[in-house]
Amino acid sequence: MTTPKEGPRAAPGSGRAATAAKVLTHAADLFAERGPAATSLRDVASRSGVNQGLIFRHVGNKDQLVGAVLDYLAQELELAREAGVDAAVVEAMIERQWKVLARSVLDGFDPGELQRQFPNVSTLVDRFRNYHDDDADARLAVAHTVALGLGWRLFGPFLRAAAGLEDVPEAELRRAVDLQTTRLLTGAADDST
């Protein structure tokens, strides 16, 4: 279900870039709604208002499109964070990204093979590297943190019910998850015991 990471990419500022951005935006929406396996290139072309041949020309085949969408969403989120975009907008972007990521994985696509860049994860590794003994420990801490966040996003209702947390207010739950995230990222010990 994977192809090499090489593929056509649009140059910024070109008509090609505008077409690619339109295709990637609409493909991301479709992938978030129903997953890449249930989305044809024809569906993406129709929603984007382009012909299917332009998708092949500007982005590539289905696997390349999935990889390009994952890269696009990661880069879009990184740029929004750097620009200080409103937290609610960033949260909506995160939700869209994790939906596409989860549906891609469930549909049998391998983001590790298809996605070229992971700027948000790289930023976390860079930011918290000094809290760990070595690079591998920092990377593991970030991976655990991302897994914790994705786990709560994907399985929050199940986790609440299974652990008897239905009555815990959302804000309190978020604070608890944030505390664990901070502990993972900084290597801080649990001082509450």
Examine the domain organization and report whether 81 and 63 are in the same domain: yes
Q: What values do phi and psi take at 58, rounded to 5?
A: -95, -25
Q: Which two tokens stand for residue 18?
A: 């505008």
pLDDT of residue 4: 44
My answer on whether 77 and 136 are in the same domain is no
> Is 71 part of any domain?
yes
Same domain, 57 and 103: yes
Q: What is the pTM of this model?
A: 0.82
Domain boundary among 62, 85, 117: 117
22 in the same domain as 106? yes
Contacts of 139 (CB under 8 A, 6+ apart): 125
Residue 23 and residue 94 in one domain: yes
**143-157 pLDDT tens trace:** 999 999 999 999 999
Domain presence at residue 86: yes
- The torsion angles phi and psi of 49, rounded to 5 degrees, stand at 75, 30
Based on the fold, state whether residues 142 and 107 are members of the same structural domain: no
Residues 75, 37 share a domain: yes
> What distance in Å separates the CA atoms of residue 18 and residue 72, rounded to the nearest whole number?
13
Identify the domain containing residue 110 by its residue range: 15-117
Whole-number pLDDT of residue 97: 95
Same domain flag for 101 and 144? no
- Domain shared by 58 and 150, yes or no: no
Assess contact for 98 and 63: CB atoms under 8 A: no
Please name the residue ranges forming H helices in 35-169: 41-48, 52-58, 62-82, 87-106, 111-114, 119-128, 135-162
Average pLDDT over residues 58-79: 95
Domain boundary among 117, 142, 157: 117
| Interval 129-145 mean pLDDT | 96
The pair of structure tokens assigned to 181 is: 């995230």
Residues 19 and 113 in one domain: yes
What is d(CA 132, CA 183) in angstroms, rounded to the nearest whole number? 12
- Measured in degrees and rounded to the nearest 5, phi and psi for residue 189 equal -80, 160
Residue 9 inside a domain? The answer is no
Query: What average pLDDT score do residues 175-179 get?
Result: 96
Number of domains in the chain: 2
Asked if the structure places residue 95 within a domain, the reply is yes
Ranking 16-20, 45-49, 60-64, 174-178 by mean pLDDT, the lowest is 16-20
85 within a domain of the structure (yes/no): yes
The verdict on 84 and 30 lying in the same domain is yes
Write the DSSP assignment of 125-155 as a string of letters.
HHHHGGGSSSHHHHHHHHHHHHHHHHHHHHH
Q: Is the same domain home to 33 and 59?
A: yes
Instruction: State which of 117, 149, 164 marks the end of a domain.
Output: 117
Q: Is 70 domain-assigned? A: yes
CATH of the domain at 65: 1.10.357.10
